[in-house]
Structure 1
């Protein structure tokens, strides 16, 4: 009875030991076999792997491409125009043994903290050698490649491979941004004031030209009108003179009747004259009386 129990216990230990000596490596992972804190094996191929039971420890790391967000940092280009830059990097753990030796038990968090410092230093170094216009332009691939190439060597010491680096945002600091906007507004307002002044100047020239043209046209028209009136008056006087010369008596009679008709019109006005007034000379004359009776 005791022998059976012992055998069962031994069999249990053997099964547990066999199971604890086997571990599975996923295709998305790499594994380190640690023995008393020292790396004794690196398992990079997916599938079953073995270790000493109850002694060895398995530490697994992600073998996929990982992302690191580099927080906003200020850079100073060659033209001393400060910029705020956001970036991110794509990296991968390529050497798990070196990675473990570099970061210890801190794993990915510690590695990303050190990689973040590397990316910040490289970004400041590269962007500090160009002007802000080069950084703000849409063609920044060369700058991002320089940052990546500069970070590769330092990241290799951590067992990492920097695959890609991208600049997401490149803006002015908030204080500089507001000052730039204010300067842009002032510049646009100055340009608008200049345009308004030039427009008003042009309008004044157009109005002055129009006024001068108007005065010239009116003066010319009045001159022509005076000439026409003078010619008409001269022609009228010639006609009157010819008429008077043809029949002076009739002309005198016509002028007297015209004067009577204009003076003795009906209305609210009255004109009181003496019968001996010169106005009635033609009516009192024998010629006028004969004309009146005819």
Structure 2
């Protein structure tokens, strides 16, 4: 009974020590076994692992692909049109030993702060390089620029034990102070184009009006010419008829001419004429003008 009394505490302590020495490595993580801050072993395979209780500790790191959103970064392409770029990166911890040595106890937060600085620097370097304009950034060449940023960021993050898988530009906007100037320039360009269109329309309208006026003048002139010809032909025919009639009966023709003169002279209220009594004008009104 006395032996059992001493054995139970020993077994209890041994059980606690055994349980404290066992830890589980999840399939989504990697683990480092540290002894007084020094790396003793790396556990990358999922399953059970062991450590020395109280002396060694386990530090776990996520083995999945992680994402990092960078704050908006202002860049100046070669055409000096400033842009605000919003990007994000996907990365993973490739070497946990190198990662621990690089960031120490700061862990993932310290690593992301340093990775953010690398990304911002490479975004400015690539988008501000020679030959890269704002139009290039907004065109189909954008994918090539993102690949360049990814390659350069990966090369500079390897000493941190990180592998940058991809860098993407989410948004590319103009700075707020440039929006008004840009909108004003766009408005001026649209107004200039509208003025050009209006001027071309006025010019075309003037040509159409001038052609129409010319056509009207030509048609009127042609009509007048034809009417004058017709009138002249009619007058000639009338004169020929008058001449023929005058030749056939000169006395009747003279009588007809006198009646036409009377009709024109004695029209309306104009029935009074002052002439000499022996005037030939009223010869046919005397009663003996015709036989």
Shorter-chain TM-score range: 0.7 to 0.9
C-alpha separation between the residues in 2 aligned to 1:224 and 1:284? 46
Shift of 1:119: 0.8
Name the structure 1 match of 2:287: 285
Question: Alpha carbon RMSD of aligned pairs, Å?
Answer: 2.7
Q: Following the alignment from structure 2 to structure 1, what is the Cα–Cα distance between the partners of residues 201 and 23?
A: 85
Residue 278 of structure 1 and its aligned partner are, at CA, apart by: 7.3
In the other structure, the counterpart of 2:115 is 115
Unaligned stretches of 5+ residues in structure 2? none
Please state whether the residue corresponding to 2:129 is helix, strand or coil. coil
8 Å Cα contact 2:266/2:272 also seen in 1: no
Task: Give the TM-score normalised by the residue count of structure 2.
Answer: 0.85
Aligned-partner Cα distance in 2 for 1:106–1:278 = 141
For structure 1, which runs of at least 5 residues remain unmatched after alignment? none
1:4 aligns with 2:11: no
Contact 2:85-2:171 at 8 Å conserved across structures: yes
Count matched residues. Answer: 285
**1:206 equivalent in alignment to 2:208:** yes
**1:32 matched residue in structure 2:** 32
The verdict on how the C-alpha distance between 1:2 and 1:263 changes in structure 2, with shifts beyond 3 A counting, is farther
Deviates more, 1:165-174 or 1:232-241: 165-174
Q: Please give the alpha-carbon distance, in whole angstroms, between the structure 1 residues aligned to 2:142 and 2:193.
A: 32
Q: 1:82: Cα distance to partner?
A: 2.0
CA distance in 2, matches of 1:146, 1:197: 48
Give the 3-state SS of the residue equivalent to 1:143 in structure 2. Answer: helix
Q: Secondary structure of 1:40's match?
A: strand
How far apart are 1:140 and its partner, in Å?
2.6
TM-score normalised over the length of structure 1: 0.85
Structure-2 residue corresponding to 1:19: 19
Paired residues for 1:118-157 under 5 Å: 118-130=118-130, 131-132=132-133, 133-157=135-159
Partner of 1:79: helix, strand, or coil?
coil
| Per-residue deviation, residues 115-139 of structure 1 (Å, max 9, x unmatched) | 0001111121222213213323212
